[in-house]
Amino acid sequence: MMKIIILQKEMEISLISKTVIKIDENHEFTVAPIKYTNFCYCHIKNIKGDFEITNIKKVVADGKDKKSRNQIIYNIENGMFKCLEASKNVITLLFTIFYDDVKKNVNVGLYRLKKLLQKKTTKNDEDKSKPALAVNSKWYEIMSNNEYSDVTFISSDNIQIKSHRCVLSKHSKILSTIFKSRKSPIKINAEEFKGEIIQAAIDFLYDKTDSIKGKEVDVFKFAERYCIRDVTNL
């Protein structure tokens, strides 16, 4: 079951120009004012990311360190709400934002994976005299040999990806539990994922860190499904 994230964000909004509100690296929106003589409409637009604004309140200072919050009628369908304080240029609003935990984790994981790849690339560029870990890892060369593999993933496109219990059980409690309950060789039906995604995730665990480049989102989803810590805890 998906966990729903409820985020409340208090922001100063301009009533004379657009205000861009950044929630995180992958979520943001713009509040664009439409000012009239006695009131002002605001339009929420340029939404980036998958989330929903469900409630908006006006924040009013009631003396020192005290605030009250008054409900504003917000039309979710057209993204419009009305402010009655057209005489002011700035208003403070409290936004209530909903998004699900799976999407949030994928976005966070994608950001961290990209940072890791950038770090590896920078390190290799700084020391070109040494073999690049992402390409020439001896560990990868040894473990990518399927001769003694004892686990096979069956992908959605019916590709068989081979791996080793001793490696996978170290990185995943779920897979470790599966291995304990079955005899070798083991087959795992991973029908939610394509073969190239499963292969990229396994290669990543074998030190081929560039294997996930361009596939970060789907690799992270695969890691979430099997609780592969080296990916989800980056």
Q: How confident is the model at residue 133 (pLDDT cuts 50, 70, 90)?
A: very low
The rounded mean pLDDT for the chain is 77
- What is the model's pLDDT at position 122? 55
pLDDT (tens digit per residue) in 73-98: 888 778 888 887 656 788 889 888 87
Q: Percent of the chain having pLDDT more than 90? A: 16
Confidence of residue 102 (pLDDT cuts 50, 70, 90): very low
As a whole number of angstroms, the distance between CA 116 and CA 109 comes to 10
Residues 6 or more apart whose Cβ sits within 8 Å of residue 155: 161, 190, 191, 193, 194, 195, 197, 198
What are the counts of helices (DSSP H) followed by strands (DSSP E) for the chain? Answer: 8, 12
Helix (H, G, I), strand (E, B) or coil at 197: helix
- Interhelix angle 216-226/101-126, rounded to 10 degrees, is 120
Task: Sketch out the chain's domains with CATH numbers.
Answer: 4-101 (2.60.40), 131-232 (3.30.710.10)
Query: Which residue did the predictor score with more confidence, 112 or 210?
Result: 210
Q: Which amino acid is at 87?
A: S
| pLDDT reported for residue 64 | 56
- The residue assigned the tokens 């994981």 is 109
Q: What is the pLDDT of residue 218?
A: 87
Q: The tokens of 83 are what?
A: 């402010």
Mean local confidence (pLDDT), 167-191:
87
Are the CB atoms for 13 and 88 separated by under 8 Å?
A: no
Q: What percent of the chain has pLDDT over 70?
A: 71
Helix ranges, the chain (H): 101-126, 133-136, 138-143, 165-171, 173-181, 195-205, 216-226, 229-232
Query: What is the distance between the alpha carbons of residues 112 and 98, in angstroms, rounded to a whole number?
Result: 22
Closest CA to 144 of 205, 91, 89, 86: 205
Contact of 16 with 87, CB cutoff 8 Å: no
pLDDT at position 51 over 90? no
Range in 16-20, 68-72, 195-199 the model is least confident about: 68-72
pLDDT of 17 over the 80 cut: yes
| Predicted local distance difference test score (pLDDT) of residue 20 | 94
Give the residue with greater pLDDT, 32 vs 9.
32
Q: What is the pLDDT of residue 34?
A: 86
Q: Of 3-7, 81-85, 172-176, which range is least confident? A: 3-7
Give residues with Cβ within 8 angstroms of 23, minimum separation 6.
Answer: 7, 9, 29, 49, 51, 97
Decide which of 18 and 62 is more confident.
18
